[in-house]
């Protein structure tokens, strides 16, 4: 199973493609068309589940203490976000990958912002 460290150096586009491949049951990419389809599907899934993830993550007591403050986004450890996702009803999706995507948005922006 992949860990958070496996995703930190990947681009957002790569992360969305990996998410799409996981959700669609794909394996290794066979060509650029497959990768683009996975990326598109992964991005659509992220956009449609963004609010649900916000509720699960931003409502958690470990995150609440930092929302609305000037504390660095890094104060919320990506592993804490992963753990929150693991305990949620989206646990069937790779929580390490989702935690890195949340970290990229930044916890302050994620808890205040829109998916776009």
Condensed to tens digits (0 to 9), the pLDDT of residues 69-104 reads: 555 555 467 888 888 988 887 767 889 999 999 888
| pLDDT score recorded for residue 67 | 65
Whether the Cβ atoms of residue 99 and residue 81 lie closer than 8 Å to each other: yes
Task: For the chain, give every domain's residue range.
Answer: 10-112
Q: What average pLDDT does range 17-27 have in this prediction?
A: 83
Pairwise CA distance, residues 17 & 41, whole Å:
8
Cα–Cα nearest to 74, from 36, 50, 104: 104
27-51 residue pLDDT tens? 555 666 788 899 999 999 999 999 9
Distance separating alpha carbons of residues 23 and 2, to the nearest angstrom:
15
DSSP for 64-96 reads HTTTTS-S-GGGS-HHHHHHHHHTSTTTTS-HH
Q: In 3D, which of 12, 40, 13 has the Cα closest to residue 24?
A: 40
Tokens of 70: 């000037």
**What pLDDT is recorded for position 75?**
47
């Amino acid at each position: 199973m992949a860990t958070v460290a496996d995703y930190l150096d990947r681009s957002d586009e790569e992360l969305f493609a990996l998410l799409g491949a996981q959700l669609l049951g794909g394996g290794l990419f066979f060509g650029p068309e497959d990768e683009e389809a996975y990326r598109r599907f992964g991005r659509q899934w992220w956009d449609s589940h963004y609010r649900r993830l916000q509720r699960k993550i931003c409502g958690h007591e470990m995150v609440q203490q930092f929302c609305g403050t000037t504390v660095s986004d890094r104060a919320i450890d990506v592993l804490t976000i992963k753990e929150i996702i693991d305990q949620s009803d989206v646990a069937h999706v790779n929580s390490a990958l989702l935690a890195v995507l949340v970290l990229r948005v930044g916890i302050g922006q994620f808890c205040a912002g829109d998916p776009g």
